């Protein structure tokens, strides 16, 4: 199955907004997120900014063949001593997990945006931690640094990506 990334135009931002409901549902296992009285999760804060700051915020859909398999939100930091890029959110639908789709999308993003990266996971999402340690470890030949957040305890991986062919 062919895999692809699409930088999402403003006209399709509703797709990510709707998919965010599935993402937040997954996070109810790790964080205290509640449905509102209409049966929806709260709006993701700052989502509209991904279409207001071109060159600084990048919303992507991830495809497996002609089907949407997930999304990624990437921030480009300006004048940051910590990193150039931050994997703000990354989501793969369950049916595409453990099939190489997430690994491919992550590596494609790292290659597309060469520079210093930061990827963070919540402290109790051990599946995400294992995924990112494996993907980043293999991508960098284990040349990355991991730092635990002093208050929340969640790990962040720091590494440098290079455009690879």
Q: Tens place of pLDDT for every residue, the chain, 165 residues?
A: 799 999 999 999 999 999 999 999 999 989 999 999 999 999 999 999 999 998 999 999 999 999 999 999 999 998 888 899 999 999 999 999 999 999 999 999 999 999 999 999 999 999 999 999 999 999 999 999 999 998 887 999 999 998 765
Domain limits, the chain: 3-161
Six-digit token string for 141 = 């030949």
Would the pTM of this model clear 0.85, i.e. be above it? yes
The CATH number fitting domain 3-161, selected from 3.40.50.300, 3.40.630.30, 3.90.1150.10, 3.30.2450.30: 3.40.630.30
């Amino acid at each position: 199955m062919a895999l692809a990334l699409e930088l999402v135009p403003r006209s399709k931002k509703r797709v990510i907004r709707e998919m965010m409901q599935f993402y937040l549902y997954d996070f109810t296992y790790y964080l205290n997120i509640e449905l509102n009285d209409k049966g929806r999760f709260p709006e993701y804060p700052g989502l509209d900014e991904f279409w207001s700051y071109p060159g600084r915020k990048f919303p992507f859909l991830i495809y497996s063949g002609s089907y949407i398999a997930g999304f990624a939100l990437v921030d480009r930091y300006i004048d940051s001593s910590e990193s150039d890029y931050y994997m703000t959110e990354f989501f793969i639908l369950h049916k595409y997990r453990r099939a190489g789709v997430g690994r491919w999308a992550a590596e494609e993003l790292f290659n597309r945006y060469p520079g210093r990266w930061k990827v963070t996971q919540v402290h109790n999402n051990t599946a995400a931690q294992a995924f990112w340690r494996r993907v980043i470890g293999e991508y960098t030949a284990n040349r990355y640094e991991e730092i635990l957040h002093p208050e929340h305890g969640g790990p962040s991986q720091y590494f440098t990506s290079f455009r690879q062919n």
